[in-house]
């Protein structure tokens, strides 16, 4: 989802006369660790940072205020939610790039196959359909799994594993935290969510053994190689599923809302990728110019045409007006998700450590080291220690 921005750098260099050096190019969890390590050690020689609205509070000490960079035209064009997420204590510390929320991608041909549907009806006494609930997804994924095909893929580590759990948890009526930031997910909803993940990976073998090492990019690539029936993915990578050069199933890929939990609620974990300027920036003006370039209306339109949800209202309105057919339906699903299902984790400095504790414990349930109930309890205990330490 960053490829388009990298491809646009030569244009920026020609227009501005500046040269851009890419200092670090890493998956976001690894990038966060790099930022913490390098900035803690001193000035890493970085002007512009790629960050995220959920991670910026943990990096606030290294981020420059942007009140002079975010002008009235930009601020007025931003959607209200992303604009609010981009401020800390009322001050701009980042400019949002997109609004991220997942949809379910699935192989239409597998669900439309007459023989498969007839067999499923005989064995399950209902039609084979795109899952409406997570319990249905587990059932259908088990049925579709066979040699060379996995029923459903999800990231097996880091924020991807956490996020899938969070969506299931919220869909089951659960909460991550109480209002005063005590862990609230050691609950029936949390155990159910962890159990569904363990059912898919450990008990039923619906996913590959290597899943515990896979981020978002790996599960997307596996689906696009024709190895999976279903996957959840972000809008920024949508273009990869539509192109025969990058997806063997192009033309046979459908999109749907994320499944609902047993309460009937759909929940989609979201937030905004964003850009920030380092307090220690050696070229603040150059960083501001690149930030404006990456978040301009034209850049936003370009990303939206590849699938991303722009945060500038003018770009979003323009690209939605262009869309027709399946693409118009996808935009309608994203709008429905934004209106009815979007869940935003709380923003506080210790949040990344909390996310880390949850996925590490969940991964133990995925491989059978802990029961789902024990994994949830372990994660809650660790988060209680993290929050208590942050308050001390």
For residues 7-23, average pLDDT? 97
Strand 268-271 versus strand 342-343 pairing type = parallel
DSSP string, 116-158: HHHHHHHHHSS-----SBHHHHHHHHHHH-BTTBBS-B---SH
The pTM of the full predicted model, rounded to 2 decimals, is 0.95
pLDDT at 217 over 80: yes
> How many beta carbons lie within 10 A of that of residue 28, not counting itself?
19
Q: Report d(CA 181, CA 120) in Å as an integer.
A: 44
pLDDT at 330 over 90: yes
The H-or-E segment that residue 50 falls in is strand 48-52
pLDDT of residue 28: 84
Token pair recorded at residue 65 = 């205020």
Q: What average pLDDT does the structure give for the chain?
A: 95
CB-based contact 159:29 (threshold 8 Å): yes
> How many beta carbons lie within 10 A of that of residue 356, not counting itself?
20
pLDDT of residue 205: 87
> How many beta carbons lie within 10 A of that of residue 77, not counting itself?
18
Q: Report d(CA 176, CA 1) in Å as an integer.
A: 27
Q: What is the pLDDT of residues 76-135, one digit of tens each?
A: 999 999 999 999 999 999 999 999 999 999 999 999 999 999 999 999 999 999 999 999
pLDDT of residue 247: 98
Q: What is the pLDDT of residues 62-76, one digit of tens each?
A: 999 998 899 999 999
CB-based contact 192:172 (threshold 8 Å): yes
Q: In what order do the strands lie in the sheet with 95-96?
A: 48-52, 273-277, 95-96
392 band by pLDDT with thresholds 50, 70 and 90: low
Token pair recorded at residue 268 = 């989609």
Q: Report d(CA 173, CA 170) in Å as an integer.
A: 5
In the chain, the largest separation of any two C-alpha atoms, in whole Å, equals 68
């Amino acid at each position: 989802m960053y490829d388009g921005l990298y491809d646009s750098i030569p244009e920026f260099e020609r227009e501005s006369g500046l040269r851009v050096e890419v200092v670090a190019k890493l998956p976001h969890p690894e990038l966060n660790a790099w930022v913490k390590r390098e900035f803690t050690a001193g000035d890493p020689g970085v002007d512009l940072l790629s960050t995220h609205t959920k991670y910026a509070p943990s990096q606030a000490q290294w981020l420059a205020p942007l009140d002079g960079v975010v002008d009235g035209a930009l601020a007025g064009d931003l959607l209200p939610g992303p604009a609010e997420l981009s401020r800390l204590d009322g001050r701009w510390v980042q400019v949002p790039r997109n609004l991220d929320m997942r949809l379910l991608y699935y192989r239409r041909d597998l669900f439309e196959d007459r023989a498969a549907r007839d067999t499923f009806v005989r064995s399950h006494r209902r039609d084979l359909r795109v899952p409406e609930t997570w319990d249905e997804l587990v059932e259908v994924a088990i049925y579709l799994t066979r040699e060379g095909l996995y029923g459903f893929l999800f990231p097996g580590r880091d924020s991807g594993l956490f996020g899938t759990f969070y969506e299931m948890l919220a869909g089951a009526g659960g909460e991550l935290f109480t209002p005063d930031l005590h862990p609230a997910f050691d609950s029936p909803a949390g155990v159910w969510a962890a159990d569904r993940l363990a059912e898919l990976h450990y008990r039923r073998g619906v996913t590959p053994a290597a899943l515990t090492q896979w981020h978002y990019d790996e599960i997307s690539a596996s689906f696009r190689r024709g190895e999976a029936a279903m996957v959840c993915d972000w809008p920024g990578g949508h273009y990869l599923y539509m192109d025969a050069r990058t997806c063997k199933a192009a033309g046979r890929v459908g999109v749907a809302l994320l499944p609902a939990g047993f309460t009937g609620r759909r929940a989609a974990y979201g937030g905004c990728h964003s850009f920030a300027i380092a307090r220690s920036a050696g070229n603040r003006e150059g960083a501001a110019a690149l930030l404006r370039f990456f978040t301009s209306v034209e850049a936003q339109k370009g990303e939206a045409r590849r699938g991303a949800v722009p945060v500038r209202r003018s770009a979003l309105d323009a690209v939605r007006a262009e869309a027709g057919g399946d693409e118009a339906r996808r935009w309608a699903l994203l709008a429905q998700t934004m209106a009815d299902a979007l869940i935003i984790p709380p923003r506080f400095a210790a949040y990344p450590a909390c996310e880390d504790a949850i996925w590490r414990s969940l991964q133990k349930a995925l491989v059978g080291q802990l029961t789902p109930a024990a994994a949830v309890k372990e994660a809650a205990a660790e988060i209680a220690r993290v929050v208590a330490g942050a308050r001390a």
